[in-house]
Structure formats: C-alpha cells, structure tokens
Amino acid sequence: MLKNKTNNNLKASNLSSLKTVYLGIGTNKGTRETNISSAINLLSNIKGIKLLKISKMLKNPPQEGIKSGYFLNGAIKLLTSLTPLELLKVCKKIEKKQGRKETRIQRRKISRVIDLDILFYGNEIINTKELTIPHPMIEKRYFVLIPLMEIAKRFVHPLLKKSIKELYIDYCAPTSIKNCASAV
Ligand code: ADP
Ligand code: MG
C-alpha cells in the first residue's frame, strides 16, 4: 500500500535531485498510537515524499522539564524532492491538522499531539531563522538516537562526523539509561 502511493508521489521528480531525510516524530497527548499513524498517513500522501522506513515507537517518560504524560518517539526515513523549507511547512501543516496548538507558554513546553522535526536533510548543514539542520539535539536525546539506531545506524552526522552508532555509544556509555541496552 505504501509503495504504490509513494511511488506516485515522486513520479514527476528528477531522481538525482531527491534527498534522503530523517524525521523525528513524537507525541504525548491523547491516543498516541493514533496520532503517530495519522501523521505517517498524512506524510505518505504528500506529493514529493516517499516514505522508506519507519522505526518502532519508543515509549518514554517526559524529558527536559515537560510536565505531562508519557511520550511515544520514533524516526522516519524518506526520500523527497521538497526543499528543507517546503518540508518544514509540510511538517507544520500536519502538526496543525492534527490539532497541535502552541507548544511553548512563557518558554515552558507543554503537551503536544504531534511533533515532527527534521533531523537530517541529506548531508546538508543549515542555520537559518526557521531551520537548524542537523537538528541540534540529536546526540543529546536517547529517544532520538534509539529510533535512529534502528533505521540509520551507519548514517554519518555531517557536522559531528560520527555515525549514529558512534553517537549512540558516546551517549549511552556514561549513562545508566536502561533503554540504551536494547538498541545496539
Ligand atoms: P521543539 O521541536 O523543539 O519542541 P517546536 O516543534 O515548537 O519545538 O519547533 C519550534 C520551531 O523550531 C519551528 O517553528 C521551526 O521553525 C524551528 N526549527 C528549527 N530547526 C528545526 C528542525 N530541524 N526541524 C523542525 N523545526 C525546526
Ligand atoms: Mg518540533
């Protein structure tokens, strides 16, 4: 089902201009599994996007001072003919369509129905007002590294020049995070 739909999505594209992209996906509000599958379904219907791989979703407690229920986090590998900004717009549109409201109130994050982040856009390095790529928190978040270990183990971070596996080992070695053990 995915295959036919996504092939059509890229029909008119020049194959050499397609980029491999990794997205992070997360949710901590409502029916998490449904939020994830709806977002993936919406993504798969976008012209210029072909989904390649979807990691398992990791269930984990809220991090970084967010006071809320548990999160589901995962990663998605896709091919796209969209530019980084076009892709960001698509992500924001999907977040909005799924009912995501403002996530920061007085600089404190609150629950979100869905969060789509561009982790990597090929090997590009982008630092603009709207976009920081690679996403700046990849190497500091086990809930991003573990899903990436499943679908992008050998991908090399274009700034840090280390593979996902190396970043994962760097992150997990000094910690006692029990989730780390399951991903190697
Ligand atoms: P967070 O993902 O950090 O919880 P938000 O999803 O609310 O925060 O994103 C806030 C803004 O971050 C977005 O409006 C977007 O312009 C910006 N942003 C910068 N880099 C990226 C990226 N790589 N992927 C997605 N959004 C990004
Ligand atoms: Mg985001």
Cβ atoms of residues 158 and 135 within 8 Å: no
Is residue 146 assigned to a domain? Answer: yes
The count of structural domains within the chain is 1
Is residue 24 assigned to a domain? Answer: yes
Is residue 4 assigned to a domain? Answer: no
Query: Could you list the residue range(s) of the whole structural domain that residue 151 is in?
Result: 12-183
Is residue 170 assigned to a domain? Answer: yes
**pLDDT for position 11:** 61
Q: What percent of the chain is modeled with pLDDT above 90? A: 65
Sequence letter at residue 27: T
Cβ atoms of residues 147 and 74 within 8 Å: yes
Confidence of residue 180 (pLDDT cuts 50, 70, 90): low
50-68: b (≥16 Cβ within 10 Å) or e: bbeebbebbebeeeeebee
Is 112 labeled as catalytic in the residue annotation?
Answer: yes
Task: List the structure tokens of 91.
Answer: 């992500």
Is residue 3 assigned to a domain? Answer: no
Q: What is the mean pLDDT of the chain?
A: 86
pLDDT value at 184 more than 50: no
DSSP 141-162: -HHHHHHHHHHHTTPBPTTT--
- Ligand 1 pocket, residue 95 CB under 6 Å: no
- Ligand 1 pocket, residue 130 CB under 6 Å: yes
Is residue 5 assigned to a domain? Answer: no
- Ligand 1 pocket, residue 103 CB under 6 Å: yes
Cβ atoms of residues 160 and 139 within 8 Å: yes
What does the DSSP 8-state code read for residue 175?
A: -
Is 100 labeled as catalytic in the residue annotation?
Answer: yes
Ligand 1, residue 129: give the atom nearest the CA. Answer: 16
Nearest CA among 155, 176, 175, 174 for reference residue 165: 155
**pLDDT for position 146:** 93
Higher pLDDT among residues 88 and 30, named by residue = 88
Higher pLDDT among residues 12 and 57, named by residue = 57
* Nearest ligand to residue 22 Cα: 1
Confidence of residue 171 (pLDDT cuts 50, 70, 90): confident
Mean pLDDT, rounded, for 14-33: 90
CA of 173 to the centre of ligand 2 (A): 27
Over residues 96-138, the pLDDT tens digits come to 998 876 555 444 456 788 999 999 999 999 999 999 999 999 9
Is residue 63 assigned to a domain? Answer: yes
Is residue 7 assigned to a domain? Answer: no
Using H for helix, E for strand and C for coil, what is the string for 95-112? HHHCCCCCCEECCEECCC
- Domain at 53, CATH number: 3.30.70.560
Ligand 1, residue 132: give the atom nearest the CA. Answer: 20
What does the DSSP 8-state code read for residue 182?
A: G
**pLDDT for position 107:** 42
